[in-house]
């Protein structure tokens, strides 16, 4: 079954907010609708399974690990109608042209990724993807300090907040990250603007 028009959908938020759960939910619905689906994820994300997108809560969906966004073009089957992309913040800027091309060809592109890094700053190409998307859903986690809604990802090093100048990309899960609200998100050594 072919779509009548292409689109880009972005599901974003902090870690532990359910982004991948929502991506998988939409993919399963597309499967029920007899759509041809392909899912891609960054090869550096090996937290749970190499050839699956897996949420922290457990649900999983088969996926193809790739190094670069351009690899989507090379690995895309001619009859695919829905493309899922997990952890999009880790891809190079070519993800912008790839997703735009797919949508212009009539495909439904569903993207999940962090909107901000551990410092609370825009992460990779996600801000542009959100601006180019027809639909953006920002999901929330629960703050591990106070239990309120969380919108930030806190990286911890030896149970203390990571410093601003620490590396931006370190793939991990609950052993080094927590969801936090704005009040309880801390980034020591942040430069004053």
Residues carrying an active site annotation = 87
Between strands 7-13 and 108-114, the pairing is parallel
Q: Which of 127, 114, 119, 125 is nearest to 13 (CA)?
A: 114
DSSP string, 64-104: EEESSTHHHHHH--TT--EEEE-SGGGS-THHHHHHHHHHH
Question: Which sign does the torsion angle of CA 141, 144, 149, 154 carry?
Answer: negative
Element (H, E) at 141: strand 141-142
CA distance 27 to 111: 11
Q: Which residues pair with 40 in a beta bridge?
A: 64, 85
């Amino acid at each position: 079954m072919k779509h009548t028009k292409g689109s880009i959908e972005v599901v974003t938020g902090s870690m532990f907010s359910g982004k991948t759960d929502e991506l998988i939910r939409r993919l399963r619905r597309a499967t029920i609708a007899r759509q041809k689906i392909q899912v891609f994820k960054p090869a550096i994300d090996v937290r749970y399974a190499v050839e699956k997108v897996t949420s922290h809560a457990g649900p999983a969906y088969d996926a193809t690990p790739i190094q670069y966004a351009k690899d989507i073009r090379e690995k895309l089957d001619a009859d695919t109608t829905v493309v899922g992309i997990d952890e999009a913040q880790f891809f190079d800027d070519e993800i912008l042209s790839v997703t735009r091309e797919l949508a212009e060809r009539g495909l439904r592109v569903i993207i999940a990724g962090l909107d901000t890094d551990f410092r609370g700053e825009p992460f990779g190409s996600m801000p542009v993807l959100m601006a180019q998307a027809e639909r953006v859903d920002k999901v929330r986690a629960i703050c591990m300090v106070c239990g309120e809604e969380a919108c930030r990802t806190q990286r911890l090093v030896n149970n203390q907040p990571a410093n601003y100048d620490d590396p931006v990309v370190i793939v991990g899960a609950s052993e080094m990250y927590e969801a936090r609200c704005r009040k309880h998100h801390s980034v020591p050594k942040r430069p004053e603007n």
